[in-house]
Amino acid sequence: MWKFVPEEVIVPVGSAIDIYVSTPDVTHEVILLGTDLNRMVATGQIDKNRPALQDQENLRPLKLGT
């Protein structure tokens, strides 16, 4: 089972955001639609990204387990 913490984030238009992703168990792929964020995160790794927001109106998270 997985979840995003927090489940919803409201970001003002034009803002830069930093996204941190970690996993305690297996490698995961994380994609944030509407950005250039597409990362593989390995066990114990903490990944930091500042994605380029391409479509701020339609940001939706998509997580694919491996």
What pLDDT digit, counting tens, does each position of 23-49 carry? 888 888 888 777 788 888 899 889 898
pLDDT at position 62 over 70: no
What pLDDT digit, counting tens, does each position of 13-28 carry? 677 888 888 888 888 8
* 53 close to 14: Cβ distance less than 8 angstroms: no
Non-local (6+) Cβ contacts of 25 within 8 A are: 43
Q: How confident is the model at residue 66 (pLDDT cuts 50, 70, 90)?
A: very low
SS3 58: helix
Backbone angles phi, psi at 56, to 5 degrees: -65, -20
The CA distance from 41 to 39, in Å, is 6
Calculate Rg over the CA atoms of the chain. 12
